[in-house]
Amino acid sequence: MRTLIVGVGGMTNGGKTTLSQSLNQQIPHSCIIAQDMYFKDDSVVPVDSNGFKQYDMLSALHMDKMMSHVNLWRKYPEAFLKDRSPTHTVEVYVLIVEGFLIFNYGPLNELLERRYFIEIPYDVCRTRRSLRVYTPPDPPGYFDGHVWPMHLKNRKEMESAVSGIVFLDGLQSKEELLAVVYKDVIKKIQEIKEKNVKE
C-alpha cells in the first residue's frame, strides 16, 4: 500500500478549500483533512490587548487531534474513503491536508511530499474576508488588527523554516490553479507507482 500526502496552504480566503475539493474530486482514492475543523472552542481562545481573539495562531487549534487523524489515515487510508469497496487494487492513496498554518506545524509539515501555498494581494484578501460570515463574526478592525499582521508573521516563520513550497497566484482562475496542481500531483503518483514496480 502506497500513500501520498499533499499540503494545500495559504492565506485566509485565498482559495485553499476550493482547490482542495477540486483535487479531491479529480484524484481517485483521495480524501481531505481540513485544519479549520480543529479550532478550539471560542471560550478558550485568548484575547490580545486590543480585545481581538487570537485565532490565527497554532495555539488556537487542536493540532494534536489533527495529527492523530492524519496518522490514523496513514495506517488505514481506505477507511477514510467514501467508497470503501474499490473495484480494483488501489496503488496510491492520497491525503490532501488543507489549512492556513499547515506548514508552520513541524510534525505535520514533515509528512508532506508536495506543498502548495496560495497567495493573494492584501486588498483582495481584505475584500473577500469582509464578504464571509464567520462564527463568531469578525469584530470591526479585526482584519487589519489581527488577521493580516498574523499572516505576515506566520508567512515569515514558514519561509524561514520550510523549503519546497510551490507558491500559487490566487488571482488565477480555479481551473488554472487546479490544472497546475493536478498535473504535479499526478506526476508524483506516477513516480510512486513506478518505484513500486521496481521494488
- Asked if residue 29 lies in contact with residue 94, where contact means CB atoms within 8 angstroms, the answer is yes
pLDDT at 90: 77
Q: Which domain holds residue 84?
A: 2-198
Give the separation between CA 135 and CA 43, rounded to whole angstroms.
12
Q: What's the whole-model pTM score?
A: 0.93
**Which CATH number belongs to the domain containing residue 60 in this structure?**
3.40.50.300
DSSP-based helix, strand, coil % in the chain, nearest 5 = 50, 20, 30
Chain centroid to CA 152: how far? 17
Q: What is the pLDDT of residue 118?
A: 98
Q: What is the C-alpha separation between 97 and 5, in angstroms, rounded?
A: 7
For the record, the C-alpha cell of 50 comes out as 486590543
Q: Residue 83's pLDDT is what?
A: 65
The contacts of residue 57 (CB under 8 Å, 6+ apart) are 101, 150
144 given a catalytic annotation: no
Walking along the chain (199 residues) 10 residues at a time, the average pLDDT comes out as 95 96 94 97 92 94 98 94 67 96 98 98 96 88 95 97 96 97 96 80
Q: What is the pLDDT of residue 86?
A: 56
90 Cβ contact partners less than 8 Å away, ≥ 6 residues apart? 1, 28, 29, 78
Q: Which entry of 36, 42, 48, 169 is annotated as an active-site residue?
A: 36
Total domains in the chain come to 1
Q: What is the pLDDT of residue 129?
A: 94
